[in-house]
Amino acid sequence: MKRKWFSAVFLLALAAPVCFGQGSAINGQIDGTVTDAAGANIVNATVQVTNVSTGFSQRSQTAESGLFRFNVLPLGTYEISVDLAGFAPVKRSGITLTAGSIRTVDITLQVGAVSTEVNVMAADAVMTDPDRTDIGSTLSSNTITNLPLVSRNPYNFILFQPNVSGHPNTEFGVPRKLDANGFNGRINYQVDGGNNTESDRAGIRLIPISNTYVDQIVQVNNGFAPEFGNTVGTVFNTITKSGTNDFHGEAGYLFRRTDFNARPALLQPSQATPQINVNSYLADGGGRLIRDKLFFYGSFEHVKRDLPSVISVTPATVSLLGLPANYAAAIPFGQSLYFYMFKADWQLNDKNRLSFRYNHHSNDSPFNNGGGQVLLPLTYNFIDRSHSGAFQLISTLSSNTVNEFRFQVPTRTQSQNRFAPNVDGPTINVAGVAQFGGPNQVGFQYTETTPEFSDNFNWNKGSHSLKFGFSYRAVLDTQTQATSATYTFPNPAAYLAAVNGTNPKGYSGYSQTFGNPSIDYNSTFLGFYAQDTWKPRANTSITYGVRYDIYKVPQATSSSLYPDSQSFRTDFNNFGPRVGLSHGFGQDQKTVLKISGGIFFDPPQTDQYRRAILNNGSPIFFNISATPAAVFAPTFPQVFTALPTGFALATQDITTVSKDFRTLYSSNGNVTLTREIGANMVISASYLFTRGNGLPVYRNINLVPSGATLADGRPIFGTTRVFPGFNNITSAESVGQSTFSAGNLSLTRRLSKGIEFFATYTWAHATDDAPEQNNIDSGAFLLSDPTNRHRDKANSLTDRRHSFNANAVLTPRYEVSNKMASAFINGYMLSLAFVAQSGDVFNLASNKILNGDASTSATFQRPLYIGRNTIRGPAVYQLDARFTRDFRFRERFSLQAFAESTNVLNHDNVTGLSTTAQVDVGGNILVNPTLAHTNALDQRLIQLGFRFIF
């Protein structure tokens, strides 16, 4: 099936000029107006732009309004020349294009015939981007290269963007509890404008990437044009490096040793500090094969590091359970990662340029999954592999039309395998104390392949810039679930009685999986858009248009016993109109007002359909559950090798998707005022509002109230069922709603005189009535009352009232005449990154099922009169720093030595609390939760490194 899909996609790619809806994500644009000394527009002036690093150039003529516009330009620094008979030619230089940027360069011609050259360096260009109507920012190459990044994970840079908050990831995964536009983890991750988002759950990137080959990062999070789609949150686009006419590159070594670092925040005093070593080797370089024609770039990085997982089970408890003493020690989780990338850019002729990129990553991570109450034998060896190949062809069809075609095939495979520390036998869960025994996560495998082809057509017609496009992405998924058998004991005494044989059935429950755990499920994502950017005046831009998305979901099993699981609805109503206005005040346009709004759609998570196919009433993979009273109940530590005698498949639980399930969408609006203060600094103030509609919520629709209620009015359910042939029916319904209101203030200074910095503060409030599932941070959240969703209306999981982040790269330069003195006092760099934000919110849980609905765990059955997410954790404060000494010899070569640290002040940044209260059967609190700290971000980690640059 996968080969057929791939063949079909490849043939279509060859047969038709198709489209991609995010042409601005990887390229830049230069526009402006040519006038004479009296301010009159000049028609038919010849304008040429030239990339000084690659020799690429384009030529056009000004329209009747004097306007010129160059779309889909490769990134870099440009020169602009303007020529017209009777006027002195003008040349301007130093125009730097970053990804997604629009540089407005207005030019005045003087009467005469004498050649004139006016140099406008990058520091003199307007910073306000008066032609952009969206809200976003770009991290420059200087910032990405030099900011402290002990993790080596460029996805953490998303936290240094306006209107985004969350927690960094020590590994190469994505940051957690990300709040963007009030949505949890709704991120459209991209690489070079192509999809890099995993389809099964919200908030996961598809391909891990190395910071070595990242050139720029573009983030767009509100009011984006119709060409951007597939998210209600933010677009996070990573731009890779390319070769130029000059040869350039680097080689480096980074290392960390245990003695450099502080002890983990939650490590018990009696435990030794675990090994926290790192070794990282990297090299990259690029240049030309043919000047101005053919360029190459390659990159390699190997990261081997220790990431120990702290155990919260005390040595005394481990001893009481009769387990080896080392089970109380930190688990030596680690990673060994390899990253490779190769890229070629070829200027085929004056009209066509072609780019090719290949990425590969591999990761072996033994001792995965441990920490907290999960002890050593439950860990596994995590194997992760990815490959991605991508092409881009940009064709200049005429002086006013440009077409961009892309094709890529990324694939990722993950598996969880047995290794040396694993033991045979069932998993043991001593409730609230410890988990150990045979591994319960081994056997999981997941592969996703997403061939994608796309095209973007640009047409400049007078004062209008028209864009049309569509994209096609096939999502091919294969997943095998882990198999396991688990005994749950109510306390250590019951476990010990089973071990010594005095009460082998003293457990509270037993479960074991049976059947075929594998499934293939495929989807198709299509997107279309049309938009126009109209400049009715030189200082005013209006972008308007519509985007249309279709998400064809996996095919259901038509023979399913429950009707809703026999077919799944594809929502064809995903029309997203959008409009944005940008107006620059004054001739210099250094004050810009932006207003925009629109409808945005988010792809459905494909895992909700996988679950519905597997749990459709006639399961091929199912779970045997038993209490000691069951006739076939096993004797500890027995594990079934076949279906036990006396077992009959119980009335089935079903997971399904509602017949009227629709696509999640948001209504967004924002207003931003930006002012350039000085030649190199800009301040922005913005207000954003987002309304989410159709958030997916799971609830049990097969319950019948018994007539009794808890004291706060929540119904208590009996054993009767609406559909008697089934037990619990958990249905995904697109009924949740959310609101997000935020004010933001940002200050940006671009690199000038050795100083570059960015600071942003956001006050925000996010609410919803939708405890989600199929999300990286909320895997099994359910309503506290399935008959009344409004009982769960509260602060969102990622609600943070205050969020401040700032970063700076400081490279002071002092001019002295003595060369030795100059070398001594110069060549230093200090880079800082600081985050301060409100603590996370947590749900106050109870320790009992209160409403009779066993499908909803006690975690979500809150005590009486307690709202959802009412506990606020401690605030997070983290300062990261890097100090660099640059030893330069000759003009093109330098050696850098640096030291960098995360959490310099070693603040305990708590991200987990113990929030379970002891309650009586009526839901009254008997013992309040301890609020003990259960998880925290990294302690102070110090890393040293050397880097040779040429």
Listed residue (503, 505, 500) closest to 322, CA to CA: 500
Listed residue (116, 94, 105, 40) closest to 68, CA to CA: 105
pLDDT at 794 > cutoff 60: yes
The C-alpha atoms of residue 42 and residue 39 are separated, in whole angstroms, by 9
Which strand (E) or helix (H) includes residue 659?
none
pLDDT for 9 equals 37
The C-alpha atoms of residue 556 and residue 654 are separated, in whole angstroms, by 14
Q: Is 316 exposed, middle or buried (0-12, 13-18, 19+ CB in 10 A)?
A: exposed
Query: Would you place residue 618 in the very low, low, confident or very high pLDDT band (cuts 50, 70, 90)?
Result: confident
Per DSSP, helices labelled H in 257-345 are 315-320
* Residue 363, CA distances (Å) to 44, 92, 138, 320, 682 in order: 57, 48, 29, 37, 41
Q: Can you give the three-state secondary structure of 462-512, one letter per residue?
A: CCEEEEEEEEEEEEEEEEECCCCEEEEECCHHHHHHHHCCCCCCCCCEEEE
Task: Report whether 131 contacts 535 (CB < 8 A).
Answer: yes
Listed residue (878, 840, 876) closest to 178, CA to CA: 840
What pLDDT, in 10s, does the model give residues 190-199?
A: 999 999 999 9
- The number of CA neighbours under 13 Å toward the Cβ of 353 is 20
Listed residue (14, 131, 948, 13) closest to 537, CA to CA: 131
Task: Report whether 774 contacts 701 (CB < 8 A).
Answer: no
What pLDDT, in 10s, does the model give residues 314-353?
A: 999 999 999 999 999 999 999 999 999 999 999 999 899 9
- The number of CA neighbours under 13 Å toward the Cβ of 275 is 11
- DSSP characters for 914-945? --EEEE-TT--EEE-----EEEE----EEEEE
pLDDT for 115 equals 54
The C-alpha atoms of residue 118 and residue 103 are separated, in whole angstroms, by 17
- Pairing between β-strand 509-515 and β-strand 485-489 as defined by DSSP bridges: antiparallel
pLDDT for 21 equals 37
Which token pair is 229? 């789609």
pLDDT for 410 equals 96
Taking each continuous run of H as one helix and of E as one strand, the counts in the chain are: 6, 57
Average pLDDT of 373-395?
A: 95
Share of the chain above pLDDT 70, in %: 95
pLDDT at 124 > cutoff 80: no
Of 220-229, 239-248, 330-339, which gets the smallest average pLDDT?
A: 220-229
The C-alpha atoms of residue 468 and residue 548 are separated, in whole angstroms, by 12
pTM over 0.95? The answer is: no
pLDDT at 22 > cutoff 50: no
pLDDT at 7 > cutoff 70: no
pLDDT for 450 equals 96
Query: Would you place residue 411 in the very low, low, confident or very high pLDDT band (cuts 50, 70, 90)?
Result: very high
- Pairing between β-strand 28-36 and β-strand 107-109 as defined by DSSP bridges: parallel
Query: Would you place residue 805 in the very low, low, confident or very high pLDDT band (cuts 50, 70, 90)?
Result: very high
Q: Hey, is 563 helix, strand or coil?
A: helix
Which token pair is 459? 């047409």
Which token pair is 289? 């094969």
Work out the number of other CB atoms within 10 angstroms of the CB of residue 180.
29
Higher-pLDDT residue of 329, 26:
329
pLDDT for 118 equals 52
84 Cβ contact partners less than 8 Å away, ≥ 6 residues apart: 42, 44, 45, 46, 109
Q: What is the DSSP letter of 742?
A: E
pLDDT for 431 equals 87
What pLDDT, in 10s, does the model give residues 427-452?
A: 999 988 999 999 999 999 999 999 99
**Strands in 369-444 per DSSP E:** 380-398, 401-417, 427-430, 434-437
Query: Would you place residue 38 in the very low, low, confident or very high pLDDT band (cuts 50, 70, 90)?
Result: confident
Instruction: Tokens 């049976």: give the residue.
Output: 514
Which token pair is 885? 């000494």
Task: Report whether 528 contacts 658 (CB < 8 A).
Answer: no
Which strand (E) or helix (H) includes residue 819?
helix 819-825
* Residue 847, CA distances (Å) to 870, 917, 926 in order: 17, 6, 11
What pLDDT, in 10s, does the model give residues 891-907?
A: 789 999 999 999 999 99
Task: Report whether 891 contacts 875 (CB < 8 A).
Answer: no
The C-alpha atoms of residue 44 and residue 30 are separated, in whole angstroms, by 17
Share in percent of the chain as helix, strand, coil (round to 5): 10, 50, 40
Query: Would you place residue 113 in the very low, low, confident or very high pLDDT band (cuts 50, 70, 90)?
Result: low
pLDDT at 863 > cutoff 90: yes
pLDDT for 617 equals 83
Instruction: Tokens 């952009």: give the residue.
Output: 132
The C-alpha atoms of residue 807 and residue 80 are separated, in whole angstroms, by 32
Q: What is the DSSP letter of 202?
A: B
The C-alpha atoms of residue 555 and residue 557 are separated, in whole angstroms, by 7
Task: Report whether 592 contacts 685 (CB < 8 A).
Answer: no
Angle at 829 between CA 157 and CA 896, to 5 degrees: 95
The C-alpha atoms of residue 124 and residue 276 are separated, in whole angstroms, by 46
- DSSP characters for 445-461? EEEEE--EEEEEEEEEE
Residues 353-381 as b or e (16 or more Cβ within 10 Å = b): bbbebebebbbbbbbbbbbbbbbbbbbbb
Work out the number of other CB atoms within 10 angstroms of the CB of residue 911.
18
